[in-house]
């Protein structure tokens, strides 16, 4: 699986510049504003777009979770409701985690 992810990393880097920028924007915003927008996005992706399950995982009311998703889009330009961008975000974040752990 790591080999497959490593091969996909090259393809993602070609098309993933905007997504990488969106993630960086969210990280910076979270640091400056002490928010958890990137964690919200990750949780949303981990729950396959199920806002109720993701909200429960983060101990948030579903409306609060939906508000955070809107903020993700406003702050980063990333649309969490678009299936293609969700897929790219999931892939990008997983590859990014592999890079950070040094396992890829």
Query: What's the pTM value of the predicted model, to 2 decimals?
Result: 0.78
Q: Which of 39, 93, 97, 101 is nearest to 71 (CA)?
A: 39
CATH number at residue 47: 1.10.10.2840
Structural domains counted in the chain: 1
What integer is the mean pLDDT of 48-55? 96
Per-residue pLDDT, 68: 97
Helices (H), the chain: 2-15, 17-33, 37-46, 51-57, 62-76, 83-101
pLDDT in tens, 77-103: 888 888 888 888 888 888 888 877 765
Q: Note down the domain range covering 12.
A: 2-101
């Amino acid at each position: 699986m790591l080999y497959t992810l490593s091969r996909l990393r090259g393809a993602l880097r070609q098309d993933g510049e905007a997504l990488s920028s969106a993630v960086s924007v969210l990280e910076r915003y979270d640091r400056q504003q002490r928010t958890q927008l990137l964690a919200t996005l990750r949780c949303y992706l981990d729950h396959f777009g199920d806002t109720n399950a993701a909200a429960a995982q983060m101990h948030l009311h579903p409306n609060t979770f939906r508000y955070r998703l809107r903020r993700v889009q406003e702050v980063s330009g990333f649309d969490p409701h678009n299936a293609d961008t969700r897929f790219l975000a999931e892939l990008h974040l997983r590859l990014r985690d592999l890079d950070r752990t040094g396992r890829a």
